[in-house]
Amino acid sequence: MKHIAIIGNGIAGVTAARHIRKHSNHNITLISGEAKYFFSRTALMYVYMGHMKWEHIQPYENKFWKKNKIDLKFGFVKHVNAAEKSLEFKDNSTLQYDKLIIACGSKPNKFGWPGQDLKGVGGMYSKQDLETIETYAKNNKECKRMVIVGGGLIGIELAEMMLTRNIPVTMLVREKSFWNSVLPKGESQMLNEHIKAHHIDLRLGVNLESINPDQEGTVKSVTIKETGEELECSFVGLTAGVSPNIDFLKDSGLQRGRGVKVNRFLETNIENIYAIGDCAEQKEPNPNRPSVEAVWYTGRMMGEAIAQTICGRKTEYNPGHWFNSAKFIDIEYQTYGWVHSERRLPDYEAQFHWRHPEKWICVTLSYHKETHEFLGINTFGIRMRHEVFDRWLNEKRDLDYVISNLKIANFDPEFFRHYEGDILKAYKNQFVSI
């Protein structure tokens, strides 16, 4: 029986702990400096919005951990001493381990902006961030305006949160069109319109120059670099992406890049130490997968894979085709395979885009220019079935086949209006092969 220590009780660490328990009698200690009990990070926004209470976003009852003999330790690890197989905590206590799983997640990016550490400036990542937001953006009497720096998925969540309390929002986005580093032009354009339709003051193609304090050292305004304009605000949300939260590992001897470097088995360069979830960086990522994957389901998959390895069945992390989903205020977004933005478009990729003339609905399908092989799909406002696209990607179906059979992939309830006929018609107008 070994002692397995896990740094981080997010989805990656918790999945590893649960699955190690399922398959073994190892002693397990699950460590976090954020919250004693696991919660669903993706549901943080719903607590602020009043849709859920804190206890609703904790998927397991507090007694679950004791019942399953998983020890919980609340505290920040400040140093990993790999030679002695020991962890040192901020309160100077220590913990010995036989095997260590690092699942310490991400942190919001800060780019050295003047004023980035003022009171009233924060990210939207942790329980503590939510508490800060609740303090500085409590209501629209005390918070006259929030400025969000950075677009993307978390920025738009933060904006939606503010809308529910009628707090005016300005978003400063460096790109010329919202999230166009990831999305094709037509989709990004639709999101610009959708965001503005919600009376969010979306400023595109601008950078933050500085965050300015009042006399008490609390944020009072921001200055925009390009125009010199000073915007008064009571809170600044930093949502310019996230990066692995690995600063505390700098003297550990672990090989690091953007994250903790791992092989396909999630092993680091040090024996008996593994890294999973947002903080892991694949040395040789699977084809068509990013080297750092900061999404929920990949954390879960890595947790499952590492548990197998620790329990004696060495298992590769093999996530299959890329997929993801999110929400942009009222619009649900799903992606399967790869549909590249203009900036990242490979030579071989072409795209077919369809947008509903009145509603916030569109799809983009990508395909190989020469072979017409289907490469991926983005959908906005239409729910699709993951397993169908996974199969079509495996079967290397061509674009004609996918568009003709789209209704098989539709996951919207029966009484929803379906758009496959409109999409097919638009496609036939553009291509003659069907």
Ligand X SMILES: Cc1cc2nc3c(=O)[nH]c(=O)nc-3n(C[C@H](O)[C@H](O)[C@H](O)COP(=O)(O)OP(=O)(O)OC[C@H]3O[C@@H](n4cnc5c(N)ncnc54)[C@H](O)[C@@H]3O)c2cc1C
Q: Which residues bind ligand X (CB under 6 A)?
A: 7-13, 31-34, 41-42, 44, 76-77, 103-106, 124-125, 154, 157, 245, 248, 277-278, 294-297, 299, 324, 326
Query: Toward ligand X, which CB reaches closer, 152 or 184?
Result: 152
Nearer of residues 338 and 374 to ligand X, judged by Cβ: 338
CA 109 – CA 249 distance, rounded (Å): 18
Shortest Cβ distance from residue 78 to ligand X (Å)? 7
Nearest to 164 by CA among 333, 46, 42: 46
Minimum distance of ligand X from residue 130's CB (angstroms): 9
Nearer to ligand X, 9 or 170 (CB): 9
CA distance 130 to 237: 11
Residue 197: CB atoms within 10 A of its CB come to 11
Helix (H) or strand (E) segment spanning residue 203: strand 201-204
CB of 231 to ligand X, least distance (A): 24
Which of 248/352 has CB closer to ligand X? 248
DSSP per residue, 6-73? EE--SHHHHHHHHHHHHH---EEEEEESS-SS---GGGHHHHHTTSS-GGGG--S-THHHHHTTEEEE
Show the 3-state SS of 238-271.
ECCCEEECCHHHCCCCCCECCCEEECCCCECCCC
When the beta carbons of 275 and 399 are compared against ligand X, the nearer one is 275
Whole-number Cα distances in Å, 265 to 102, 259, 262, 280: 14, 15, 7, 11
C-beta of 34 vs 209, nearer to ligand X: 34
C-beta closer to ligand X: residue 103 or 149 = 103
Q: Nearer Cβ to ligand X, position 21 or 397?
A: 21
Residue nearest ligand X by beta-carbon distance: 105
- Give me the least distance between CB of 43 and ligand X, in Å please: 8
CA-based nearest residue to 59, from 28, 25, 23, 14: 14
Q: Closest Cα partner for 106 from 240, 5, 225?
A: 240
**Cβ atoms 101, 7 nearer than 8 A:** yes
Q: Residue 57: CB partners within 8 Å, gap ≥ 6?
A: 39, 40, 43, 44, 46, 47
Of 246 and 403, nearer to ligand X (C-beta) is 246
What are the CB-based long-range contacts (under 8 Å, 24+) for 246-249?
246/104, 246/279, 248/76, 248/77, 248/78, 248/79, 248/80, 248/104, 249/80, 249/102
